[in-house]
Structure 1
């Protein structure tokens, strides 16, 4: 066999001459890269540092140390290259190319026949073999070079050097490389003349880049006001001098030939560098205008005293901050009663103005929303001034605007008297004795002005404390403490005890009556009317729950006798809603006398309302019990879905309190009240699983998890649904099987909702909860059809008649309780006289919110999915 060193034996390799040459070039490139990559990395790093001008911003000692380190690095890299570099031979290229072909044909072409040379047949076989190898060699292609050096450079230092060089190309200058020679002793660069460098750095808040003055030709130059000019002069002192008129500097000004020059541009002018290679610019200052701010309208106040003041602000680079300053205007104060003496000195009220969280602050409109009801100046004339500040610390104020500082209005006479004396006490500590006397006078006949003795005793105790402090000198801390206690007492007198639903409804009616007498505004009347509606709904729910408890306990008392359908007065939700709408319409038309009379009639009817007593669960069929259990499960699932939606909203409004997001009042209204927001622990009518049917294993788990997370409550509700599925009637009928299939889908959707809640994916959880509710409704419809079909098959006289069930299943408004699918669908919707109208309102609200681009993307996607579904 021939050796690879015998190149004359390769005459049959003519067809692979060019692939062989290109493969050799690839081997040479591999040798160069693998041996010289450290040298290339060192050179790129040094070149990047010079192009970026790092040698100009550090001391000469640091530059020399870096030069020595660079030289040492180059020496080590050259030694590495000397050891590693080898020029590849033609045999190496032949081996690389032959290895890329099947059967190694090039080796076969070089070889000679070792044995059988005298045998003609053996020689023919050998020639045929070489012919096939020649054909295969003719298909040879150049072998690409393998330039990877990752095994030799595990820390990727070559990429670091390449990145530094790329940054230098973008932000550096190739001309800076030559300036390093000027730092050497006796450098010839100085003989060619002095040099200079300069930068114009704009204020950071403008967002403008720094300008390298060496790249700016002589002529016009525009820079923002406050830009910092930095100049460095190199060479013989005095060879270059600076003359400028843009800084306005006087007095202690550095010499024109100083090597370091730093100044700020404050006015138009010129910057001139005189000397060899000097340059002159005519500088035009881009002014930074002062911010602007304006009050758009007079403040508005809610019935509870919260003030909303609209304002607008603008600035060329954006408003940084703002504040509102409120001061008392004594010239407009009616100096009567407790306000005749001079007031105690109080500092002005200073509150920050709200700024946009996201978006541009160059021009915007906002509302200052604050509650000053407890301040000493509430409901007194004040002057309000708004101030805006920009990043350049320029400040603009609005002219003082005369307003009356909004505060809460009290419609209860006793509460209003307490608040008036609290105002006098805060006006001046010298009023302490007078306030005590007046409080004693107004509470002289407590049975005429107080609803309960507790409020009277609280006022008497506060009066004694006030008189004691006033006798020995009323200090500021005692003044503030008494004012806080008087405020709490006035709130109790105004709102009453909210724990009792009937008392709350009466108090809401009384407050509305007082508001009509005292000429309240339309906004205050509307808010009080909403409070009356909510209080009435709570009272109706309380009556309903009391009736259910009486049925379960089997009580047959006076309430059951008076609540029979024959003796009690019944009215529907439509009647109640029409009466409230009529009252509000009369108030809006100014017919207060007729509105007061209608309100008294409503109050009498609500107090005369009684709950009808039915047969309780002892008279319910298994189908009715199952239907009631599914209805309870649906209500609880609705509550969990509402709470998940509230949490989704509050993820994008973290500053809001629970339940206080815009438009998110839950199913029962209020700030997070009701089952909608609090699940089974809220003020709604949600019941624990298993309450209406036989107790099961899921009851205790659901009750135990009521205080837990939404996911735990979702799991407990899923367990309760499984228990109800096991006791579902209608086995064997198509309707019953359809009901079971629907509940199976509801169970799977609940499982998906639980998993999404544990992943904190609220949008997906709400979708699954919506599917679960739809499946529950479908199951209830199927179960109702099964029960109706079963009733039709029964002969007359068997079981309880429909009329008897309806007579014994009335709620306080005379509606069917909805224990079965057939009965529950005939009556009006609970607490809603226009179910379809309410659905349209909700759909319009979803469309409106989905079109608001300021809302987060995930919320708008969820709203669009709701629109697609419904």
Structure 2
């Protein structure tokens, strides 16, 4: 029999009584909760066991392997088992009351006489006896004093007797192993276990990646794929391991890094597999989003500064696809002035720029600035606007050959003679930008803007009045008087009614307006009137011609064939008017014409017309680069026209050009002879010795002419190109074979001779340019004057006998202008394509192919 704890010697105070009551209440609640757990846990264990088994199956991804119908049955069975076990276990559950809690505390604390029960009892008899009440009170106080020593004890559900096989322990172990196996993908596996038909039925992961570089790079989209028709990959995926998928092209293609420009858009699509995929590139991650049953998509942009070595698609705990990549940063463009801005014979500012960019330029502007100038005006209202406009930097768009040209070498002309800054020193800077809007700036250059000189006295007077009005707007009254005086002597400008009306209009505007509003318009009219007095309609036609040339270059960049042809027609008309006005001016003012040199003939309008026609043909056949270069050459010729012809070229240069023409003629004749020799060798007909002897004679004549050309060039230049010597040796070998009646064996040396002559023509031109210069026509006296027939010129020469390579006025010096035979062949091919495209009976695939071919035209 257990012995009760010793009672205190004295009764507790009233405060201690209150604390004892509070402590007892807390102990009772804890005891009730412990009893509730001991009753509920055995009732919940069957349901928890069934649910734990389902979770274990889900973590091991077993259920998705089953057919969808069986998966659904198993899922329903588990759900029914859990619900039934819960209903059966909890239907008789009652939350414990206070008496059972007292008994639990007394039992755990070792009190055999149930003191808590006695403490809750009341005095049954002797309520009126003071001594009995006192004894009862002392007893209760002693019981309350023992409450601090009471214990609730831990719950004891007693599962051991309900689970004698210890299945609960095995389930815990299985759940722990499943958690480790499914680490990082546990929730996705449970989700698949709850979704019949989702999982392995989708098959292994298949990844497709589209990389679209920025449009300005001109690069084609890149397509990568992994997981298709790859048995090894399938086995790895089914085993739960990650794998690296090859790019299209096999393992060798995967080993080479995929070049990805900065700013590229990456679109990845994944089908099949399990788990939420993730796109990883360096330190950047992008989550896939579901778009359909088992299909995911992710989009990312390769931001500047991204340094990724691999593009990875990760799903679950492994990488389902990976490709080595090389992120290519967008290099900063480079731009510079090839030469200081100069002045053409027509008074236009010539700007030569050179530059490089990895993807090409998308715009260039020329900024012209100068120190601020204070105008003499007391008009506070219009002073600020006038000063702002006068001192504002001039911004001029420079033409570019196209956004895809990585290295540019462009020449442009700009008529700034009407600008108020004409005749002043200005600072010129060119700013070019690439497709990523990265700027490149040239070093500033100080030049003097060209100022036009007027010979007509009235035109010169108007220009002086215009300058006075610009720099001293307050002199409007004096300018008005001078305009009236000029209008009073119409005989000084041949009674031109247009000039009379212009003078009256300008005087009226200056006399009626009090502010600066009329000054700007009057300045424009003054300049246009001065131009009319000086050269009639020539300046207007020249201005219109420059505008059309600029629009035509822009249309070539846009590859708008309809607009190109329209502008070509307009340019032809305006150019004809320009040349007509120029010739008219020469007749009206013969004193302006230079003395005619018999060794130098003038350019004819037919020569320029042939150049324009050739440019039109090139554009129609799709050779836009050659058309652009031909138009640049035409523009250069027109800009450097002075008095209707070019200055004389040095005599040595004329001799060199004659030798080049002779070489071109020999190349043509060698080509014809080689074609005939080849036909005879194929036909097998000799017709005796006559044809062989004729061919040998022609080959010998060509050999002698080439020897004479080598002698002349050696006397003039001192050094003969080696390629021409090799051509002479090849001709000698061909002559030997022809003399022996072997035309088939004569064709190879004839071909070598032709090839060496073509190479020698280029070497001759290089030597000529080094000795005589390229003749870029910066000003008077530097153009070329020999008139040539365009159709008879060598292919690599312009209409004035200048070599096309390194002409210095196009985006790329290696653009070769096809000769007329090439252009004719291209035209015939284009007509044949159009004819076939018009035959509706052709197969659909062929029609679509023809349409794609014709699209560029």
TM-score with structure 1 setting the length: 0.36
Asked which structure has the greater CA Rg, the reply is 2
Identify the structure with bigger relative contact order (alpha carbons < 8 Å, sequence gap 6+): 2
TM-score with structure 2 setting the length: 0.36
